Structure 1
Amino acid sequence: MTLIQTDICVIGAGSGGLSVAAGAVQMGARVVLIEGGEMGGDCLNSGCVPSKALIAAAKAAEAQRHGFRGVAGQEPTVDFATVKDHVAAVIAEIAPVDSQERFEGLGCTVIRATARFTSPNEVQAGDHVIRARRFVIATGSRAMVPPIAGIDSVPYLTNETIFALRDRPEHLLILGGGPIGVEMAQAHRRLGCKVTLLEAARVLGREDPDAAAVVIDRLKAEGIALVEGQAVVRLSGTDGAVEAVLADGTQVQGSHLLVAVGRKVHLDGLGLEAGGIAHTAKGITVTPSLRSTTNRRVYAVGDVAGGLQFTHVAGWHAGIVVRQTVLGLPAKADPRAIPRVTFTDPELAHVGLTEAEARQAHGDRLTVVRADLSHNDRAITEAKATGFAKIMVVKGRPVGATLVGPHAGELIGLWALAISARMKLSAIAGMVAPYPTLGEVSKRAASAYFTPKLFGNPLLRRVVRLVQSWVP
């Protein structure tokens, strides 16, 4: 065994771990980075990057299928295997940024092996024992496989395997109606697959019901079969012929099954007990500063920190940990302004409190304002005027925002900043937005908050008449 002593040992080379390692080593800390799988983690290899590449191809197919007013559409010829070549090429183009060679070039010691704590201050990885002042666990998560009768004997896909599938599924059954499920449902439908989405509760159940309805209507219009409120109780079948039995006895057949019911944090084999690291099934038990509650040498970032499971959250966590472990500065994670996006068409984006959450938290102090894309000139010119912006406001400041429509994921950034910086709504209402842009919908929504105070106010009208009588 070779003993390595270092300042920071990062376990996991996904988004959060790579961000910690890059930041720390470039500031002068000694860093050991351990990864037992692929560099780049889930996001690069089987999550965000391949899914968005597939969605882009599906969007191109749909645009050709429908054309535009005065531009005849035609059924696209989809080469499914070549689409997957596109997905692989996108991963390959981004991969060097996350590669072992790059991080070794930055000065990290990279060890390609699984890591296991052997004591509170030591980790074993392959033939190496790493003794560090600080450890950062960034092992991420993997697809959760639900305990459904028969699932062990049925061939199924997850996000870790579906992007390698080169033959187009004839009929894809998708188990789970969350963001991953609906994104993959729409993408595969647009690429020529028959798709049935099975959700035990409500499709996009975490999202604002009004916004979710806009997305659901589009999914149905594109020919996706949605089954809500019925749990799958039994699975059976072989390659090319899978059957799901629902709670009411209904039988649904398909050629392939995609399991997309959620994520399970990756803690197996880490030796957390030997490291004196408290944890639950949801992740490492941490303080608001992302530090282990039982081993002060240890921090957790990303999915394994037990909170929101997004790549951008992992990167945000990394900055919080670097400030503490490298610079010795206090820092805490406040998740109030973390945006999320479902990359369907139309997109659904949210930050802060939903309307239901805001009503529960703030009661009568809450004002909800809304602006519809049907009044947005840019959306009208592009024939994409379905959707809206809904803003939750308390005492003149936004506490939540929901957007559904084209490029909602791009537009939500303004509201993430506004909530994080505790900006007044008047700042957004007063900004100059270029015309015509989709971004005007945010200005219009903010302005709607002041409309009752400015128009139709009897007292204000009297003041205006008085002022006008003074104007020479």
Structure 2
Amino acid sequence: MAVAVPAGYDLIVLGGGAAGLATASRAVADGATTLLVTEGAPGGDCTFTGCVPSKTLIEAAADGLPFGKAMARVRDAVTRVAATEDEAALRENGIEVLRGRARFVARDRIEVDGHVLRAPRIVIATGAAPLVPPIEGLDGTPALTTDTVFELDERPSSLAVLGGGAVGCELAQAFARFGVEVSLVEEAGRLLPDGDPEASALVADLLTSEGVTVHTGTRVESIRGDGHRITLRSATARIDTHRLLVATGRAPVTGTLELEAAGVSTDRAGAVIVDRHQETSAAGVFAAGDVTGLFDNTHAAYAMGRVAAGAALRRTRRPAFSSAAIPRVIFTDPEIATVGLLEHEVNDPKARVAYLPMSEVDRAIAAEATTGFIKLITGPRRLLGDLGGGKLLGASIVAERAGELIGEPALAMTAGMFTGRLAQTVHAYPTWSMAVQQAAAQFFGEHGGRTARKVGGGTS
């Protein structure tokens, strides 16, 4: 292979996903000569196997498209997005791209297909890959993963989804809407076990109403099957299915990097350990995105990448990453969005919760989409107490537009605003976002027959 790039750079980025692209873009904007090394096409999981195809499939299912046309839409969306971040587009923006597998040979040197490249600062952004659980027989069973499910050409007659987290719930609902007989299996006692319990219960009821068979508290002990029929067995259930989708999470990709050559430490899960500036245990080596295990969303990976680049190129006033005000969204219908703390995670006895069911929001009534709720959680400020409504600790929203609605609470938390600003801001009527204003008003007295309550005090 002829490498038409110099051996030395200001910054080398390993990985072409969201974190890697953000790192490289920020570095070039700061005037650094930058090389992006990627095994696959730039864009990474989000573009090819994650956000873009999954959300396109979800939208296609909601629109009632036949499965074949839905998958064609998925491929078209991936192609269109990928074209905005391919090698030619990156080079136009000043980012040099090298395709190949990288490994460390020293703290400031990597080797790519026999060629050694140097940089005083290197950022690891190699992402994560599907985690396949150690279940008897799974290795010999033709199973789909979240990386391969979008390669399907024909609609399966039935599908078992192993894993009731965000991706499992999203795809279970989408496939059910295509007329597939779906079984959703989760080992924990409820779906979305890391989320708001009320939201979890709502989603379980919703999926059941749409024909999904939900198995919670179910540990699959063995799997057997071929290309025609697959059987999952647990102590309490036997599930026969045409296809199996494993959606049990993802694991950091570091296996071929030879991190020990650079002195980079990882935790027991294989995630690269970083400080708040995204710097690893090796000076001058940084990491961003899913490979750190900090926050497994594309927008968080992008934020980490920008922090890593800024911190790598500055000696003083280095930026720092915090996930405190980064939202999460689950794209079921209705959507589930959270930012900050969930109610059951709050320990402050002085914290309060404003709760508003979507059935009391005029826009939701007009749209006949009244399933869901808003929770805003506040706590007292140091010295100022509850003045101005106190500070916003977190928000949970279940609604048709929850992913859009969560932006306002996230902004309030990022800016350190008084919660009262959400109530004072005039919102257009009738909009979904008025629900945020209505909920925030409860911290200042009765509004619509509701007032804020203490944490843990129920939903009414």
Q: TM-score, normalised by structure 1?
A: 0.90
Q: Name the amino acid aligned to 2:123.
A: V
1:341/1:349 contact within 8 Å kept: yes
Deviations 1:152-203 (A, max 9, x none): 1111001111001011011000000000000000000001111000001121
* Residue 416 (str. 1) matches residue 410 (str. 2): yes
Q: Name the amino acid aligned to 1:58.
A: A
Q: 1:59 and 1:239, CA in 2 relative to 1: closer, same or farther beyond 3 A?
A: same
* Residue 203 (str. 1) matches residue 203 (str. 2): no
* Residue 233 (str. 1) matches residue 227 (str. 2): no
Q: 1:456 and 1:410, CA in 2 relative to 1: closer, same or farther beyond 3 A?
A: closer
The equivalences for 1:91-102 within 5 A come to 91-102=78-89
In our comparison, the structure showing a higher alpha carbon Rg is: 1
Residue in structure 1 matched with residue 422 of structure 2 by the alignment: 428
Q: Name the amino acid aligned to 1:218.
A: L
Task: Calculate the aligned-residue CA RMSD, in Å.
Answer: 1.7
Q: CA deviation at 1:453?
A: 11
Deviations 1:16-44 (A, max 9, x none): 10111112113321001100112210000
Q: 1:175 and 1:320, CA in 2 relative to 1: closer, same or farther beyond 3 A?
A: same
CA distance in 1, matches of 2:178, 2:353: 38
* Residue 451 (str. 1) matches residue 457 (str. 2): no
Residue in structure 2 matched with residue 49 of structure 1 by the alignment: 52
Residue in structure 2 matched with residue 442 of structure 1 by the alignment: 436
1:339/1:350 contact within 8 Å kept: yes
Q: CA deviation at 1:97?
A: 1.7
Structure 1 unaligned residues grouped into runs of 5+: 62-77, 458-472
SS at match of 1:335: coil
Q: CA deviation at 1:269?
A: 0.4
Residue in structure 1 matched with residue 401 of structure 2 by the alignment: 407
Q: 2:362 aligns with which of 366, 377, 399?
A: 377
Number of residues paired by the alignment?
436
CA distance in 2, matches of 1:455, 1:189: 38
Residue in structure 1 matched with residue 304 of structure 2 by the alignment: 317
Structure 2 unaligned residues grouped into runs of 5+: 381-389, 452-460
CA distance in 1, matches of 2:69, 2:372: 33
Q: 1:55 and 1:316, CA in 2 relative to 1: closer, same or farther beyond 3 A?
A: same
Q: 1:284 aligns with which of 240, 265, 272?
A: 272
1:26/1:106 contact within 8 Å kept: no
1:50/1:90 contact within 8 Å kept: yes
CA distance in 2, matches of 1:433, 1:141: 40
CA distance in 2, matches of 1:333, 1:108: 24
CA distance in 2, matches of 1:384, 1:413: 20
SS at match of 2:321: coil
Residue in structure 2 matched with residue 389 of structure 1 by the alignment: 374
SS at match of 1:4: coil
Q: 1:263 aligns with which of 250, 270, 280?
A: 250
CA distance in 2, matches of 1:176, 1:355: 24
Q: CA deviation at 1:307?
A: 0.7
Q: 1:303 and 1:455, CA in 2 relative to 1: closer, same or farther beyond 3 A?
A: closer
Residue in structure 2 matched with residue 171 of structure 1 by the alignment: 158
* Residue 183 (str. 1) matches residue 177 (str. 2): no
Residue in structure 2 matched with residue 82 of structure 1 by the alignment: 69
Q: CA deviation at 1:306?
A: 2.3
Q: CA deviation at 1:376?
A: 0.8
Q: CA deviation at 1:454?
A: 12
Q: 1:453 and 1:442, CA in 2 relative to 1: closer, same or farther beyond 3 A?
A: closer
Q: CA deviation at 1:128?
A: 2.4
Deviations 1:188-220 (A, max 9, x none): 000111100000112111111112222222111
* Residue 12 (str. 1) matches residue 10 (str. 2): no
2:12/2:37 contact within 8 Å kept: yes
Q: 1:456 and 1:373, CA in 2 relative to 1: closer, same or farther beyond 3 A?
A: closer
> Which structure carries more helix by proportion?
1
Q: CA deviation at 1:282?
A: 4.1
Residue in structure 2 matched with residue 145 of structure 1 by the alignment: 132
Residue in structure 1 matched with residue 384 of structure 2 by the alignment: none
SS at match of 1:365: coil
1:116/1:124 contact within 8 Å kept: yes
Residue in structure 1 matched with residue 334 of structure 2 by the alignment: 346
1:349/1:403 contact within 8 Å kept: yes
1:215/1:348 contact within 8 Å kept: no
Residue in structure 2 matched with residue 274 of structure 1 by the alignment: 261
Deviations 1:129-169 (A, max 9, x none): 11001000000001100000000111100111100101101
Q: Name the amino acid aligned to 1:231.
A: R
Q: CA deviation at 1:452?
A: 5.1
1:292/1:299 contact within 8 Å kept: yes
2:14/2:36 contact within 8 Å kept: yes
**% identity of equivalent residues:** 37
SS at match of 1:435: coil
Q: TM-score, normalised by structure 2?
A: 0.92
Q: Name the amino acid aligned to 1:423.
A: M
Deviates more, 1:445-454 or 1:391-400: 445-454
* Residue 356 (str. 1) matches residue 309 (str. 2): no
Q: CA deviation at 1:327?
A: 4.4
